[in-house]
Amino acid sequence: MDIGTISLILMVALIVLLAIGMPLGLASASLAVLVLVLKFEPTLLLNPFSFGDGILTGRPGTGPLYILAQKIYGLLTDYVLISVPLFIFMASLLERSGIARDMYSSLNVWLSRTRGGIAIVTSIMAVIMAAMSGIIGGEVVLLGLIALPQMLRLGYDQNLAIGVICASGSLGTMIPPSIVLIIYGLITETSIKSLFTASFIPGFMLASMIILYIIIRTRLNPHHAPLPEPDPNDPEPAEKRKLFGAFMSIVVAGFSTVLFIRAAFFELSGSNAASQGEPARLGTADYLPWFAGITIVALLLIFFVFGRQRAKIGWEMGKGLVAPLVVIGVVLGSIYGGITGITEAAGMGAFAVLVIAILRGEGSFELVWDSLMRTLKSTGTIIWVTIGAAALAGAYTIAGGPQYVADLIVGQELPTMLVILVMMLILLFMGAFMDWVGIVLLIIPVFLPIVLRLPIEEIGVFGQLEPSHVAIWFGVVFCMNMQVSFLSPPFGPAAFYLKSVAPPHISLTDIFRGFLPFIGIQLLALSVLLIWPGIIALLL
């Protein structure tokens, strides 16, 4: 059977199976078998008793089946895949310990008298949590438990509160270490470290857009975010700024001291000399005077500008932020500092969170067991979807599907940006009905080769991508699409995560209504990536 007919049958069958509620992993695996049969042994459909006479069944373990098995085995045994359960475990520990709650309390202390301050705190907290674990569902649930009751109690507009929690809670898709980027890198054989680096600016751009929207909306409509009653123990704004300066001086002093010790260790141990011309980033003797100078300036500010008493009070007010900053430093610092790879960084981050929980007196067998059980369930879901979707993508590739689709689209001689916009519409549509794991495994292997064949000078409006950056750019664009999918009705997962912990009077309709302005913000951020693709290369 020709590949065009197989593609049509596959598309209709996938929609039907998902519509009747079949799990994506099982549906994908079943269709993988169907694609192989239609392409290589269609007589099995009309005459099942011919089993053993064709390419597929005549010599089991060879031909297309062998190629498919090798593809799935290679994906599941990739070392980087281990980072997925490790990041999920780390996120579970964060959710069940008091680290996240203390972080929220500390952020709230500094912004309590700011219009829309709690909504801004919620967004900042989501960014920090995204930079710690890269998990989406847990963030939305945790923010729904911590921030939603607080905002509703203070009289915040319900739609604003809902939208901020879900839009901010899904930032783990864009901000490293994003699991979506990890899976994309595995499937496309793109450098995951480069994907992380490229997504930094777009991720924080989106977070900044959300915070800016909160500020503008609450200024234009003050009744959407009433200020809480003044606390007589709350310092005056000028004094609070000094306390914050004292706290940040302590953090900077500690951070620069750690970097000084690290650089000194690399130099004295001979690690830089043994690295054959690739010394550790920020780890050479040239940086020692800078780190020492920063530490000395920070200490001078603490003792002679802000004062030790103010520093002590500032530390008490902001110490809830220290543990998250340590975890971020361990995870991202070990990756970008050249100390470890992605998988080892995930393990170090999980270990750091566990140690912090124990030092805080929150470590227990129940905490670890509950976190492990949640990790097992979440990882199991991802792995089964990965197996099924990888099987279908592999079968379709063996049958010649990606080449057929590429020739079909490129052969139409459409403008480059129109081709990309069509892809964006398809991704947005699929994202409204399918989990991101299935999309990255099923759609990306078809779309990416097409993008790589497009004239690179016609991608975007301003600036131009380097040929080596096209796959990285498309990965970041894909993740921005998945940001939208988490909020898109009718199956936006963020809505169901929030509904599981929201008060009974908040319906799914209310939740989706609160999403609308934030979907617009996400589409605006996506437009920036399409118009100015070079933004992803600013840090590469």
pLDDT band at 293 (very low <50, low <70, confident <90, very high): very high
**What is the predicted pLDDT for the residue at 134?**
66
**Percent above pLDDT 90 for the chain:** 18
Q: Which of 275, 254, 257, 277 is nearest to 266 (CA)?
A: 275
pLDDT tens digits, 330-358: 888 888 776 778 888 888 888 988 888 88
- Residue, of 427 and 463, whose pLDDT is higher: 427
pTM assigned to the model:
0.84
pLDDT at 61: 66
CA gyration radius for the chain? 25
What would the two tokens of residue 45 be?
A: 């459909």
493: cis peptide before it, omega within 30°? no
- Cα separation, 458 vs 464, in Å, equals 8
The pLDDT tens digits for 177-203 are 888 888 899 888 888 889 999 999 999
The model's pLDDT over 357-405, given as tens digits with 9 standing for 90+, comes to: 888 888 788 888 988 888 888 888 878 888 888 888 888 888 887 777 7
Q: Is the predicted pLDDT of residue 60 greater than 70, yes or no?
A: no
pLDDT at res. 236:
80
Place of tokens 């595995």: 186
Whether the CB-CB separation of 501 and 144 falls below 8 Å is answered with yes
Average pLDDT of the segment spanning 283-302: 90
Tell me the pLDDT of the chain averaged across its residues: 84
Peptide bond into 177 cis (omega under 30): yes
Alpha helices in 222-321 (DSSP H): 237-269, 288-300, 308-318
Give the pair of three-digit tokens for residue 8.
């049509």
**pLDDT confidence band for 477 (50 / 70 / 90):** very high
Q: What is the pLDDT of residues 149-168, one digit of tens each?
A: 888 888 889 999 999 998 98
Distance of alpha carbon 154 from its chain centroid, rounded?
Answer: 30
Q: Is the pLDDT of residue 505 over 80?
A: yes
Whether residue 137 has pLDDT greater than 80: no
66 C-beta neighbours (distance < 10 Å), count? 12
pLDDT at residue 11 greater than cutoff 80 = yes
Q: Which tops the pLDDT comparison, 305 or 57?
A: 305
Give the span between the Cα atoms of 278 and 257, in whole angstroms.
23
pLDDT at 472 (0 to 100): 94
Structure confidence at residue 70 (pLDDT) = 81
Give residue 413's region: left, alpha or beta (phi > 0; psi -120 to 50).
left
Per-residue confidence (pLDDT) for residue 296, from 0 to 100: 94
**Exposure pattern of 398-414 as b/e (b: 16+ CB <10 Å)?**
bbebbebbbeebeeeee
Report angle CA 331, 443, 406 to the nearest 5 degrees. Answer: 125
Using alpha carbons, select from 210, 197, 211, 127 the residue that is nearest to residue 476. Answer: 197
Q: Is 5 helix (H, G, I), strand (E, B) or coil?
A: helix
Mean pLDDT of 223-229: 83
Angle of CA points 215, 217, 221, to nearest 5°: 120
Is the pLDDT at 282 greater than 90, yes or no?
no
**What confidence category does residue 467 fall into, taking pLDDT thresholds of 50, 70 and 90?**
confident
